[in-house]
Amino acid sequence: MNTSKSLMMIALAGVLAMSASNAFAKERTKGKGAPGIPVIYVTSQDLYYDTLLLKNLPYNENDNFQLLEMAGPTGVQTEFGPTDTGYYGGRWWVDANGNGQMDPAGEDGDVYFLCPLLGPGRSAP
């Protein structure tokens, strides 16, 4: 992985980690909702889901990845979540080059990774 992709993954991990420290997070010491657990906001459901950043994935030239945007109330959001058509079980892509298209990973490509949403969703981060 080249330097720009490494930096993108570090930034993504940082955003996911920062989302977990949101002031609205429940006071727990372990498990779902605990401090340090990343949270992704699902716009179509108006729900928040805990998640785990598991690993990078190779681009397979299929559209079986879902766009993850660096936006929203927790800093990371997506349109679809569990039970929605269009949710791919936590197979995400980040449009690292900003062209709006899924490009192969590489110097000027995008980032693909596995980060499943852990249900049930909740109404607050």
Contact of 63 with 102, CB cutoff 8 Å: yes
Note the pLDDT tens digit of each residue in 23-76: 333 343 445 555 678 899 999 999 999 998 899 998 888 778 999 999 999 899
Q: Residue holding tokens 């990774």?
A: 113
The SS3 of residue 5 is helix
In the chain, domain spans: 3-122
User: Structure pTM?
Assistant: 0.74
- How far is Cα 52 from Cα 54, in angstroms, rounded to an integer? 6
**CB within 8 Å of 47: residues ≥ 6 apart:** 41, 81, 121, 122, 123
Q: For residue 51, which of 43, 63, 40, 62 has the smallest C-alpha distance?
A: 40
- Proportion of the chain above pLDDT 90, given as a percent: 46
